[in-house]
Amino acid sequence: MNRRYLALCALGLVVVLTGCLGGGGPSDEELNQNATYDWNTTANGTLWISADSYKSVYRIDNRTHFSVYQRDAFNNRNPLPIRALKFRYPNGTVVNATAFEVNTNDDRTRMKLPNRDGRLAFTAEKNGKSVRTPTFADGSYEVVLPRSTNVGIPLLSRVNPGGYERDRVDGRVHLRWSDADSDTLLVEYYLDRDILIFGGFFGLLLLVAVGGSAYYWRQIRTLEKRREEVGLDVEDEDDPRDQGPPPGMG
């Protein structure tokens, strides 16, 4: 296989990866999906997490455009596949994606807003028990976890940035930042029942460790007894080397 063939294969792989990672952006049907949002939030950015997606609401103050993106495994920017796009005017009127101008390029989805002030909302998919998103707005943030979930145990959860406040409202944990001074907001949470599973697993490991230590100690004692039985650890009092010189000598 010559170098030219390898170079062509590498170029083809780059093209394929670029096409896969770049994405085509959300469709009009996705953008106009229906969703219900809680507009009564005081934070500049608020995320409500559910089982397979999360809803975001951002305060818009004197802005004409808003761009969203996500990071891939290589830390490259790609358009965030959003859906159910809506905007709420200061007077309470809510409009859907038809009031926006939405364009997608290789690294982000860019929206021309219907008004310079108000609130922007959209829904995005997530995988597993975590949400990672760039901080598209400066200042305060709030994240609302799903019911029967929590954070706080280091091995089971992770939250970035730190310095947040945590409380439970109507059965859901709320995380609040007065100023999320980070480029990325990361929340990895666990189910309440995971604590029981983790506790049982830790208890099993402890039981195995105790049992192994007891078995090891018994083996040592058995070897010691065998050494005593064959006289390896018994001093021979008649050993001539310990009786001194013969009579008449010395």
pLDDT 10s digits, 88-129:
999 999 999 999 999 999 999 999 999 999 999 999 999 999
pLDDT band at 19 (very low <50, low <70, confident <90, very high): very low
Q: What angle do CA 43, 49, 55 make, to 5 degrees?
A: 65
Q: What is the pLDDT of residue 25?
A: 75
Q: Is 66:161 a contact under the CB 8 Å cutoff?
A: no
Q: Do residues 165 and 215 make contact, with C-beta atoms less than 8 angstroms apart?
A: no
Q: Is 212 exposed, middle or buried (0-12, 13-18, 19+ CB in 10 A)?
A: exposed
- Annotate 125-138 with three-state secondary structure: ECCCCEEEEECCCC
Report the chain's C-alpha Rg in angstroms. Answer: 33
- For residue 226, the model assigns a pLDDT of 74
Instruction: Name the CATH code of domain 23-188 (choices 2.60.40, 1.10.3470, 2.30.30, 3.40.630).
Output: 2.60.40
pLDDT value at residue 99 = 98
Res 47: pLDDT: 98
How many Å apart are CA 44 and CA 63, to the nearest integer? Answer: 13
Report the distance separating Cα 115 and Cα 131, nearest Å: 28
Instruction: Indicate whether 181 pLDDT > 50.
Output: yes
**pLDDT higher than 60, residue 16:** no
| Average pLDDT over every residue of 7-12 | 48
- With a cut of 60, say whether residue 130 has pLDDT above it: yes
The yes-or-no verdict on residue 158 having pLDDT over 50 is yes
Long-range contacts of 62-67 (CB under 8 A, 24+ apart): 62/116, 62/117, 63/113, 63/116, 64/112, 64/113, 64/116, 65/110, 65/111, 65/112, 65/113, 66/110, 66/111, 66/113, 66/120, 66/136, 67/108, 67/109, 67/110, 67/111, 67/136
What backbone torsions phi and psi does residue 118 show, to the nearest 5 degrees? 150, -150
pLDDT (tens digit per residue) in 39-88? 999 999 999 999 999 999 999 999 999 999 999 989 999 999 999 999 99
- pLDDT digits 0-9 by tens, 202-239: 555 656 676 567 667 777 877 777 777 776 555 555 55
Residues contacting 113, CB < 8 A, separation 6+: 60, 63, 64, 65, 66, 87, 100, 120
